[in-house]
A and B are shown apart, each in its own frame.
Chain A
Amino acid sequence: MSSIKIKLKEKDIAQIDEICKSFNNEPGELINVLHKVQTTFGYLPAEVQDVVANKLNMSVAKVYGVVTFYSFFTMIPKGRFPISICTGTACYVRGAEKVLDEFKKQLSIKVGESTPDGKFSLNCLRCVGACGLAPVVQVGEKTYGRVSPDLVKDILKNYE
């Protein structure tokens, strides 16, 4: 898996340490720890996983095994405006795939990637439960319902 190479600052390590301590450095709390750490850093680069493994006294291979198992965890920083397209069944039968294709075309990136300027990232997510509004697109916290391919350009314009 590709990852961005970063150098952690002392204060970053202290922050991770703090999070691990709040879970008693318990290896069984790994997933909770990773949630917190990802909320703090936005993603889980290798260096961060290494520190977590150290603090929880477990192998970094196991941490990586967990990070790569769950789709919620990411080793790639998200864009400033992360775009998520719901590909739940309700959205699928109401045309989510065409909406996704349009986003890919407009942004010239694939699912899981970010635009070179780091502005947008594109992801699919499972049902968000807003099936009444299908197909649904989320940009950051904002949810757009009943999105059709021709609305994609307008949505993106909101972030110019």
Chain B
Amino acid sequence: MAQQIKMHLLVCGGTGCRASESDQIQASLEHELKVHGLENEAKVVTTGCFGFCEKGPIVKVIPDNTFYVQVKPGDAREIVEEHVIKGRKVERLLYTDPENKEHVADSKHMGFYRKQIRIALRNCGFIDPENVDEYLARDGYQALGKVLSEMTPEDAIKIIKDSGLRGRGGGGFPTGLKWEITRKSVAEKKYVVCNADEGDPGAFMDRSILEGDPHVVLEAMAICGFAIGADAGLIYIRAEYPLAIKRLKIAIDQARNYGLLGNDILGTGFNFDIELRYGAGAFVCGEETALIHSMEGSRGEPTFKPPFPSVEGYLGKPTNVNNVETFANIPPIINKGSEWFAAIGTARAKGTKVFALAGKINNVGLIEVPMGTTLREVIFEIGGGIKDGKKFKAVQTGGPSGGCLTEKHLDIPIEYDTLIAAGSMMGSGGMIVMDEDDCMVSVAKYYLDFTVEESCGKCSPCRIGNKRLHEILETITKGQGTMEDLSKLKNLSHVIKDTSLCGLGQTSPNPVLSTMENFWDEYISHVVDKKCTSGVCKSLMRYVIIPENCIGCMACARNCPVNCITGERKQVHFIDQDTCIKCGTCLEKCKFNAIAII
């Protein structure tokens, strides 16, 4: 009775919107439709992430593309009674354009979507990820069919090579070349591995694809298996992604039932099946050799390359490792051809890139833009600029391996090489925006804290060096840093990059080096003037009494945990800076605005 359905209500079922009770919205919508006897006319579909997480939970109405934002379960009734029955859009739930303050009824006209081109995310937010039929209806498994029936493995590899697709997980290694090397490695058993151990803090591209369009990954892995000569696929996924795991499991079962995985796929004699392997919380397992050791049940410590996994990988067999987003590009390339793909992007970077936009930005969310888009376009047009009208200060790309870029980098086109030249990197696509309130020394410290926590400990520069970097940064943020510390930071950073065993250590000093390069003044003010201009570093703050406002009520002195405030009743009080621990209690207790932070 699908013909009778006139309207689809798409409810975002991504992790972010789920956290804001989107499942209850879905239930309420279904309930309301039932109450009004509309079950056969309108259908509620839980989809993957729409990308516009800032305004979640999102409900989108098809066919008119109405985009409701920040919907609550209680809004279901109104949506059904007004929109579904009377055809009147619920104005108060529409997205308001921050520029002209007008409601935007059609998502196509939202600034957030206008500049995006969706290849990897093309199905996210459009289909029910738990229903293979919806994937099939959008050309799903057509690419696999095409490859199996019309192509040789070499043909498939050639298309991927010609498309210019490069790995989307960080390094940017040409995908077709990787496949070719694995194809040429002679062995009786080979593996296709999907790296879904997305670990950058502030990145959720892969999770959104797996939650919103799990079949695309399965299809691409099968294509890869055919191309390299493998019959087994493994998806290494973070155990912290329960929804993605659930949907992958459903997808694998459905694909097996439809003969799209398993033996004799589509009657072509090609066998390929996929199993899940769970990560257990180790960032370093994003590195492919570490990932392989983890899949083998060992500590996720990287090993020296060569041998590369393409030659000697999982259980010693040739293994092709690609990440989720890379795989998500494969079926469209096969379907539409390498030329179509190569026409998108720039000369050195083809296609699109998905970014997780977060931090002090208006439109937090998941976006996909052509390579070569500028940071300015991403941050100010798609991202809607800086939150609360503050001033843009920096954008961090590439997660803990990347660097902080500034105003002067805003117009460079986003590509693998341009970002590296600017002192950062593409990484897996995290993009964190910072404003004037962020202290860049503290930001560098934050990333080092992460690296110290996540270093596997195998090689000494990363194990000890990063710890020392963090300690020096800690000293600086405490106001005890010296100029000598700054030169130590520099030398140590270069040596760690130069000598570490794997990509983690080879890039971990980037946040330090890039902030030193771009925000040298901030380091100097911490070290020389003992000031944190952003007001973040607690130790560099001073709590002082404003004599004009102090009435001598003694509330601050009574509550000070270290008794550093002196003064008689009805006299102006005084804070002894040597004893003050900057806990802020006095500020909290003063009712007369007589305490200030300088």
Contacts and interface: CB of A to CB of B under 8 A. Distances in A.
Chain B binds chain A: yes
Nearest to A145: B19
A89 B432 contact: yes
A18 to B, nearest CB: 19
B430 interface: yes
Nearest to B357: A131
Contacts of B282: 69-71
A54 interface: no
Contacts of A26: 297
A130 interface: yes
B200 A127 contact: yes
B208 A129 contact: yes
Contacts of A66: 297-299
Most buried by B among A87, A90, A132: A132
Given A89-B358, A127-B202, A132 B365 contact: yes
Contacts of A65: 299
B359 A127 contact: no
Contacts of B299: 65-66, 69
A70 B365 CA distance: 29
Interface residues of A, number: 38
Nearest to B49: A129
Interface stretch (B273-281, B321-329, B372-380): B273-281
Contact of A129 (B15, B295, B432, B456): B15
A27 interface: yes
B347 interface: no
Interface residues of B, number: 52
B20 A32 contact: no
Interface in A1-52: 26-32, 34-35
A126 B239 contact: no
A69 B240 contact: no
Interface in B319-359: 356, 358-359
B49 to A, nearest CB: 9
B199 A131 contact: no
Contacts of A134: 358, 364
- Which of B56, B241, B356, B434 is the most central at the interface, judged by chain A CB atoms within 10 Å of its CB? B356
A60 interface: no
A89 B204 contact: no
B280 A31 contact: yes
A126 B359 contact: no
B240 A94 contact: no
A96 B546 CA distance: 30
B121 to A, nearest CB: 14
Interface of B: 14-16, 18-20, 53-56, 199-204, 207-208, 239-241, 277-283, 294-300, 315, 356, 358-360, 364-365, 396, 399, 430, 432, 434, 438, 443, 446-447, 456
27 contacts: A26-B297, A28-B315, A29-B297, A30-B297, A31-B277, A31-B280, A69-B299, A69-B300, A72-B240, A73-B280, A89-B201, A90-B358, A93-B432, A93-B443, A126-B283, A127-B201, A127-B203, A128-B15, A129-B14, A129-B16, A130-B19, A131-B356, A132-B53, A132-B358, A132-B364, A132-B365, A136-B19
Interface of A: 26-32, 34-35, 62, 65-66, 69-73, 87-94, 125-134, 136, 143, 145
Given A62-B298, A69-B456, A90-B359, 11 more contacts: A69-B282, A70-B281, A71-B281, A93-B359, A93-B432, A94-B360, A127-B202, A129-B241, A132-B16, A132-B364, A133-B19
